[in-house]
Structure 1
Amino acid sequence: MAGRNHLFVPGPTNCPHEVLSAMHVPMEDHRSPIFPNLLKPILEDLKKIFRTEAGQCFTFPATGTAGWEVALTNCLNQGDKVLIYRFGQFGHLWAEAARKLGFDVEIHQVEWGKGIPLDHLEARLKDDKNHEIKAVLATHNETSTGVTSSIPGVRKAMDNAAHPALLFVDGVSSIASIDFRMDEWGVDAAISGSQKGFMLPAGLAILCFSQKALAATESSTFPRSFFSLKDMAASNKDGYTPYTPSTPMLHGLRKALDLLLEEGIENVYARHHRLGEGVRRAVAAWGLKICAQPGFESDTVTAVVVPADKDARDVIATAYRKYNISLGAGLTEVSGKVFRIGHIGDMNDVSLLGAIAGVEMAMLDHGFDIKAGSGVGAAVEYYRSTAK
């Protein structure tokens, strides 16, 4: 098929040409005297993305999933109780990872489409009189359902309960895209990955830890080697890593950070909100619903619910094979019930209009009761009226 595939999944996302070009470098000596000139400024500039002055940033040659393990195994001990709400596939996977690592995982089921129930969280923490819960695991943006939870609300609930638990936040599909304020919100470990808002290929776990979390590493006896924060910090202070890093990925991250900071992080947040709102208006114009309930809508991914007599997998397959666009599939509990439109990373108004048009055509091919051009028209009017 002529033309390129158009990627509208919520990760991996599109890589800007400048980032791909920056990664096209000869192999280099990562023990050379000039290597710190690359790594040290990256670690400092990451603090601007995580919105922290007190925190310390790290990169591991891994993924966001590995970031979960880094946080858990460096700050806690096997058998510690952790609390998590399950309202999507990635919260489920984080809970499973903690369970497999030997933690006492307290899971609370939440209807998919909603986020963290703050009143319940506060009540549960107040009930934990002996402070057995050592960490709250909060999924900021649940990619599988297009749901964003309030991390400031989580911190308020923890403070109202006067609970000392660490706050770990999965920000894989939010950080560098949706408003995130590590210091202001009292986040202890923030976990992200390279392949979403950072606009890189998969391959880096990007994390930030508070001083409280770093202090907790001193009492953690969890066995670790590759994912040791102590080893990484000891090497990072001189601008190196304890083992071979992916130097092309670091060069790509350098350029990605330049692009994000040049745009301005507040402008990045605003752009993602506009893109997400345009998609939501298109869905409403089709007469369809999104998975996220009011107040939980995500600005990086929209999960569109199909009518009961339709299968979202048909829309996804036709969109790919006939119109050369990639959409996200519904996972586990929402498999076949939703398809997902990613609007994260290197994306603009015209990009999203292409996605909306392709989705419309695929739905019409499968007999959806929608009017051709309705979603595109709604998005066009919104984008035109809000463009600067």
Structure 2
Amino acid sequence: MLNLNFHSSGRHFLQIPGPSPVPDRILRAISMPTINHRGPEFGALGRDVLDKVKKVFKTRNPVIIYPSSGTGAWEAALVNTLSPGDRVLMFETGHFATLWHKMARRLGLEPEFLGLPGYEGWRHGVQADMIKARLKDDHDHQIKAVCVVHNETSTGVTSDIYAVRRAIDAAGHPALLMVDTISGLASADYRHDEWGVDVTISGSQKGLMLPPGISFNAISDKAIATSQTAQLPKSFWAWDEIIESNKNGYWPSTPNTNLLYGLNEALDMLLEEGLEQVFYRHQRWAEGVRTAVEAWGLEIQCLDPAVHSPVLTGVVMPEGVDADKIRKLIEDRFDLSLGAGLGKAKGKMFRIGHLGDCNDLTLIAALGGCEAGLKLSGVELKGSGVTAALDYFAKHPLNRAD
């Protein structure tokens, strides 16, 4: 028989940068009885969710909701707007940007990867000037889309999306702007309309505090118009039928009803608190965690303080220290899950998530587990990160954002 008692007594600390812990309020909503997805009660739920989700993306345009992971929403963004052989300009900021690039190639597109060289390139955000220069060289406008990751979950870098929009405009280029904010949405400030994004991709299991299983495409008028002539094969992912069905709160295929209950509750929680306050507390948590890492005398994966992520912090180990071994020790000894280094960062760092259903004490406990694990592993620390974080939180109370 399968043993589902994975953890010992007490609370398991899920401090990976998603899936994030699901609040009891959302779990209770998900547990409601499943209803007829063609009945009037569901239509009311669908209309409510579709209206509220626009406020989180900060858009007045349609937000497509899929019963899939974020990977599905990547594919939906590409197949609804592009045709076989189209050139796509993508920027390498980490593991997930790399996976999106791989998908584009498998779909029959011709993705071009810009980026800073080597592992060090994964310690910086999107370089808008490089995108501008490349688009200026594309005199025939063969590049049909620019694809970037807003919050790179593998590295803890949050790129300046509005700078990318300005770069595209400065180059006088008509390419679509597509942005992955799977781990950024509802944790970091994001403005689909104001920043001129054409397709925004996101998922349920990060700042929205839901289990995995819902993904999103927020789409501009330009993206909708482009989809009318795009030639990549699509059926389940096609926007047109979903938009038409959504007008009455329904979907053309079977929706994930119970996760929509949870999404409705999550949206209420975020909007009741106020998005600016949500962003403020994430920034505050991130500053506290980074203060701890600096007190330890360790490096933060993201080298540019201007684009430090409010969602997670990558902690780089000293040369010759295997981050995965330390991470495993911490999980085994303290029932604390941390994110692994991925791709070029494998074994070099671990990731502390500080997003969603979290509080100061949660993070102090998580930092305590990290500090103890580092000491048990023989890593020489300059000082106590736990004490430094406590001092930071005491000096910066969780007041309403100005």
TM-score by length of structure 1 reads 0.98
Q: For residues 55 and 295 of structure 2, what CA distance do their matches in structure 1 show?
A: 38
Q: How many aligned residue pairs are there?
A: 386
Q: For the aligned residues, what is the CA RMSD? A: 1.0
Structure 2 match to 1:308: 319
Q: For residues 327 and 309 of structure 1, what CA distance do their matches in structure 2 show?
A: 20
Query: Any idea what the Cα deviations from partners look like across 1:207-245, whole Å, max 9, x if unmatched?
Result: 210111111111112211111111111111121111111
Once the two structures are superposed, the pairs formed by residues 3-42 of structure 1 within 5 Å of their partners are 3-42=10-49
Structure 2 match to 1:63: 69
Secondary structure in 2 aligned to 1:35? helix
Deviation at 1:112, TM superposition (A): 1.0
1:345 equivalenced with 2:346 (yes/no):
no
Query: Any idea what the Cα deviations from partners look like across 1:184-217, whole Å, max 9, x if unmatched?
Result: 1000000100000110000001221011111111
Secondary structure in 1 aligned to 2:123? coil
Structure 1 match to 2:153: 143
1:108 equivalenced with 2:108 (yes/no):
no
1:241 to 251, 271, 276: 251
2:90 to 80, 84, 87: 84
1:286 equivalenced with 2:296 (yes/no):
yes
Q: For residues 52 and 248 of structure 2, what CA distance do their matches in structure 1 show?
A: 16
Deviation at 1:120, TM superposition (A): 1.1
Once the two structures are superposed, the pairs formed by residues 235-384 of structure 1 within 5 Å of their partners are 235-294=245-304, 295-370=306-381, 374-384=384-394
Deviation at 1:34, TM superposition (A): 2.1
Structure 2 match to 1:128: 138
Stretch deviating more after TM superposition (163-172 or 108-117) = 108-117
Identical columns (%) = 47
Query: Any idea what the Cα deviations from partners look like across 1:50-69, whole Å, max 9, x if unmatched?
Result: 1112x211110001111111
Secondary structure in 2 aligned to 1:191? strand
Amino acid in the other structure paired with 1:343: H
Deviation at 1:371, TM superposition (A): 5.4
1:160 to 170, 174, 177: 170
Secondary structure in 1 aligned to 2:338? strand
Q: For residues 381 and 232 of structure 2, what CA distance do their matches in structure 1 show?
A: 55
Deviation at 1:130, TM superposition (A): 0.9
Structure 2 contact 17–353 (Cα < 8 Å) conserved: yes
Secondary structure in 2 aligned to 1:84? strand
Runs of 4+ in 1 over 2 A off after TM superposition: none
Deviation at 1:375, TM superposition (A): 0.2
Structure 2 contact 93–149 (Cα < 8 Å) conserved: no
TM-score by length of structure 2 reads 0.95
Structure 2 match to 1:43: 50
Q: Which runs of 5+ in 2 are unaligned?
A: 1-7
Structure 2 contact 114–130 (Cα < 8 Å) conserved: no
Q: For residues 133 and 217 of structure 2, what CA distance do their matches in structure 1 show?
A: 29
Q: For residues 77 and 309 of structure 1, what CA distance do their matches in structure 2 show?
A: 46
Query: Any idea what the Cα deviations from partners look like across 1:338-388, whole Å, max 9, x if unmatched?
Result: 00001111111111111111100000000111156x101111111111113
Amino acid in the other structure paired with 1:302: T
Amino acid in the other structure paired with 2:168: M
Secondary structure in 2 aligned to 1:12? coil
Q: For residues 182 and 286 of structure 1, what CA distance do their matches in structure 2 show?
A: 37
Deviation at 1:118, TM superposition (A): 1.3
Structure 2 match to 1:212: 222
1:182 to 192, 199, 208: 192
Q: For residues 184 and 27 of structure 1, what CA distance do their matches in structure 2 show?
A: 37
Secondary structure in 2 aligned to 1:125? helix
Q: Which runs of 5+ in 1 are unaligned?
A: none
